[in-house]
Structure 1
């Protein structure tokens, strides 16, 4: 038997798939949306960048404002301190002016007091000089006295000795002749000095002395010498009796100050009221 040939039926060809219109529109819409998203993304990025820049700028402005505020505050503080310094300087200047005026017044007072102090010093020096409380020097004479060595007939032993009365009389004559300072054996004679005999010696200012006695006197030497050489005067009479006496003039003599003390227990100074009658 002959085999029948199978006739293969042709498969029907698939018709071409057609894209629906809705899908195309969706795709276009998606593409458009993607583009929009990209644009929006770009815009968003730009906005973020702008926001960031604005934020930085704001912070910068804020910082600058704060710095300016701090600077302004510092300037205010400095101005306040400067004002205080000026006020203090003004106060110090016032104090300086006041002190300057005080110093000027003190200087004026000091000059016046200096003049018065000089006056007081001169008066004190003069008082010390007159009282015999300072060493003095100047022209004058010296008188040396010694007892009678060889006693003449008719003279007692006492007649050959120099007595306190003889020295007192010489001192009185020197004062009358203008002597400014007198000493006996370098013991200064002052207003309270006492000259008296104690046995064979003479006591001057509580100091025992023995011959020869040296009396010094500062003053006008010619005048003092003339007073001592008067005819019939103290020295002349003593020479008649035989006492050894020599008088020497000096261009400069030194007489020491009084070394004792002067106490006033009863006498007090009387203060006189200025302008009152003496």
Structure 2
């Protein structure tokens, strides 16, 4: 699991998008990439046609909202506004409810982005990918120490598709330590990656990865990446953040990760 390079953002490529730790993921045949926070370095991205403005897949930054002309009213996005729980999980108000926020001083890094998908593969970090979502929403953050974090929500055609995506994510993270050490060996970095499952619930899992980043979606630095995933009906809600040694801050207590999963589940519960 890569101590889940969790921070972030993701990135999407023509075929595969990546959503890294505090940075969003990246997409591989399908999306373009919304942004944000990449744990070590980038946010998830997409590369494919979508109904949102095209973004530079290499920049992993969230898409900007469509400008509204004076005297006109913007038409709400039917998919994201039809029910409050569609966006609550990725709004700044939701972050304020997470126990992990205390003391880290996260502030939004760019606007909330929302993008339709059509078959793209989104790369969450060096270990995990998601495929089959029809909508991707992201909100990036930076802490007082300038470490990245990101909230993301993926909507799927139905609950079965969301469950398949979640199970694949869990399987990918199970192999994350091996995957991370192979990357380190290839890049001639210390093979010190340690990935742990820090909490589990009926439909949620939290991971942490402590390692010397070796490029990819992570910075070349000693760091900890944290990833949280919750499956609810046809949605997956993710939260990621990084702790870089070169940007010291009070260390995260993984004993609180079960509470973080519970708070994330609450954000996705319809009122």
Length-normalised TM-score, structure 1: 0.19
Q: Which has the higher contact order (CA 8 A, sep 6+)?
A: 2
**Which structure: greater strand fraction?**
2
| Largest Rg, 1 or 2 | 1
Length-normalised TM-score, structure 2: 0.20
**Which structure: greater helix fraction?**
1
